[in-house]
Chain A
């Protein structure tokens, strides 16, 4: 197993080594030690490797990830897994703001809490937060699913498009054009699948409430001026 000690090597050296991997590499399991909160660790990975980061990371860890499975054994700074395309990123601690921002695919799991703007402008990513999320989460969320086992802060799902939000706890307030919706069997099945992928088979689907777009702001209209 390749081991990269960031107390010795630079982030540049690590990322370069990861970018040089071919899709059929046999170096499929990596360990990164002493991340020390450094930024841009493991960004732009394009191969199906498994990476364990043993500690806290700074901004944008695993940004634009494709194919890789990244486990962060600690907390993550701003924009973890931002614009992820596919693969899995698992934060075993808390995540700062804008977790999973603009993500297009893949699964982001956060064992702890996530700060403000979690899932902002998400475009197909699935995000599962075992704790709570901060304000303005899923702002302008376009596609994908945001699952929260704890509570959600103010203005959840403001100006949301076609993404879906599931919350088990309390929602402080909903943003413009975001409403609670009845869950269909298809929604329940999707939620159960996401919970299962995060190892939460015991969680009960019916404990969650579902939110999405009222689609009333999809066309600019003067009668909605108070919402803009």
Chain B
């Protein structure tokens, strides 16, 4: 073959694509798995695979700018003396002080309060910034029990028992030493600067029968005032929901694999758990079979980005959604204005996920005082409130188009699926057909 003979174009393997090759090379050089923040980045069946049908001859729409479409949601009405009423169906998911800066936690509280919704603590306890700036604060009860104390339990508005996260169902956590400042270490009763491990199992209960007793204890400590949430990483949503109801939960939070984490192994994030879309119908089915749908509220999280996602989650049976990654983006995470600094870290705006390293140029996922000072909590809180407002307006827009006077009146009948897999998962017809794959007649 001469040098002038035609040659085939160099072909990249679909199996060994450039990312895969880079990961093998990185692993070979370091001997350690890749850790990052955020949720699953792969293409998954998601809300984009569903469409609303809107009103037509047989459905009557509401007037877009005239007729009211309610957005309030009550959480914890099953047993709690003081259920929570939120103005909007979008809550802020649990994220820890330690993973996030104090200013970021304050901004989340400010934004949520402006919008009339709740925010949530995380592993490591409750900070004054967060409590002081959050009208409604959910206090997470995690396996590590870092910072856990009865005084904070009593000044919380609800308690969320965390069984798992969508990014890592069955996994614990590790906050690297560079984020364990003196303050973070003191809150967690740990020496500053060491890598802090979070257990994957609760230390004093195992299984749903024990959980029932644990919930009873927490209710007794707080005189049955606080709603008790149970947060589950989506994996077996039908059974987990049923068991959480049996254990006495007021509210169930199901977090799909697109839900973010502060720091977890890439292989865990991408290969354990199920997509958010796949978790909703089994959870709702379990609630319906137990006669508990709308009595035990369902919050869905993991990859919620816009009002369409929210409307679809509600139409499938959720009572509310929670956002984490999107809230951080609203605060300023991955802003293109920081592109040069992201490049210096070997990444780009829009791809930055090394939240565990504490070098966040946006001042959000860091404990470095210099970096943390970059985030103005008032301004960032305002941005979050703006974003929450847009999410709500978008959700109402869709609900009105479907003729609903309250967002909770959205229903599966309003939806069709663009793909066969989404039709099967969401249990709505494939677009243009009346076919629901796997439907039992």
- Residue pair A43, B149 in contact (C-beta under 8 Å): no
Q: Which A residues are in CB contact (< 8 Å) with B204?
A: 60, 78-79, 82, 97-98, 101-102, 117, 120
Contact A63-B189, Cβ < 8 Å, known A83-B149, A120-B204 = no
B169-194 contact mask (Cβ, 8 Å, vs A): 1 or 0? 00000101100000000001111001
Given A11, A78, A85, A123, which contacts B220 in the complex, CB threshold below 8 Å?
Answer: A11
Q: Which B residues are in CB contact (< 8 Å) with A157?
A: none
Q: How many A-B residue contacts, CB cutoff 8 Å?
A: 104
Most chain A CB inside 10 Å of its own CB: which residue of B145, B176, B177, B217: B217
- Residue pair B32, A15 in contact (C-beta under 8 Å): no
Q: Which B residues are in CB contact (< 8 Å) with A58?
A: 213
- Residue pair A220, B150 in contact (C-beta under 8 Å): no
Complex CA gap A46/B217 in Å reads 15
User: How many interface residues does A have (CB within 8 Å)?
Assistant: 42
- Residue pair A104, B150 in contact (C-beta under 8 Å): no
Q: Which residue of B lies closest to A124 (CB)?
A: B189
- Residue pair B220, A12 in contact (C-beta under 8 Å): yes
- Residue pair A222, B216 in contact (C-beta under 8 Å): no
Given B148, B188, B203, B217, which contacts A98 in the complex, CB threshold below 8 Å?
Answer: B203
Q: Which B residues are in CB contact (< 8 Å) with A39?
A: 213, 216-217
- Residue pair B223, A60 in contact (C-beta under 8 Å): no
Contact A220-B189, Cβ < 8 Å, known A44-B150, A44-B220 = no
Q: How far is the CB of A203 from chain B (nearest CB, A)?
A: 28
Complex CA gap A43/B153 in Å reads 13
Complex CA gap A104/B188 in Å reads 11
Q: Does B60 contact A (CB under 8 A)?
A: no
A1-24 contact mask (Cβ, 8 Å, vs B): 1 or 0? 000000000011001100100000
Q: Which B residues are in CB contact (< 8 Å) with A82?
A: 203-204
Q: Does A155 contact B (CB under 8 A)?
A: no
Contact A12-B224, Cβ < 8 Å, known A64-B150, A142-B189, A219-B195 = yes
Complex CA gap A64/B151 in Å reads 10
Interface residues of A in 128-142 (CB under 8 A from B): 139-140, 142
- Residue pair A63, B213 in contact (C-beta under 8 Å): no
Q: Which A residues are in CB contact (< 8 Å) with B30?
A: 222
Given B144, B188, B199, B217, which contacts A40 in the complex, CB threshold below 8 Å?
Answer: B217
Interface residues of B in 106-156 (CB under 8 A from A): 144-145, 148-150, 153
Q: Does A143 contact B (CB under 8 A)?
A: yes
- Residue pair A117, B213 in contact (C-beta under 8 Å): no
Q: Which B residues are in CB contact (< 8 Å) with A97?
A: 204
Complex CA gap A78/B203 in Å reads 10
Interface residues of B in 198-220 (CB under 8 A from A): 199, 203-205, 210, 213-214, 216-217, 220
- Residue pair B216, A121 in contact (C-beta under 8 Å): no
Complex CA gap A59/B203 in Å reads 13
Complex CA gap A78/B191 in Å reads 29
Q: How far is the CB of B36 from chain A (nearest CB, A)?
A: 15
Q: Does B406 contact A (CB under 8 A)?
A: no
Q: Which B residues are in CB contact (< 8 Å) with A121?
A: 144-145, 199, 203
Complex CA gap A102/B202 in Å reads 10
Q: How far is the CB of B141 from chain A (nearest CB, A)?
A: 10
Q: How far is the CB of A110 from chain B (nearest CB, A)?
A: 15
Q: Which A residues are in CB contact (< 8 Å) with B210?
A: 59, 78
Q: Which A residues are in CB contact (< 8 Å) with B150?
A: 44, 46, 64, 66, 83, 85
Q: Does B68 contact A (CB under 8 A)?
A: no
Q: Does B438 contact A (CB under 8 A)?
A: no
- Residue pair B189, A120 in contact (C-beta under 8 Å): no
Q: How far is the CB of B379 from chain A (nearest CB, A)?
A: 35
Q: Which B residues are in CB contact (< 8 Å) with A15?
A: 220-221, 223
Complex CA gap A2/B214 in Å reads 27
- Residue pair A220, B174 in contact (C-beta under 8 Å): yes
Complex CA gap A104/B186 in Å reads 12
Q: Does A161 contact B (CB under 8 A)?
A: yes
- Residue pair B149, A64 in contact (C-beta under 8 Å): yes
Given A60, A64, A143, which contacts B213 in the complex, CB threshold below 8 Å?
Answer: A60
Jot down 17 A-B pairs with beta carbons below 8 A, ordered by A: A11-B220, A15-B220, A19-B223, A39-B217, A40-B216, A59-B210, A59-B213, A60-B217, A63-B221, A64-B149, A98-B203, A98-B204, A142-B189, A218-B177, A218-B195, A220-B174, A222-B32
A-B pairs with lowest CB-CB distance, top 10: A44-B221, A79-B204, A98-B204, A102-B145, A64-B150, A218-B194, A120-B203, A101-B204, A123-B189, A40-B217
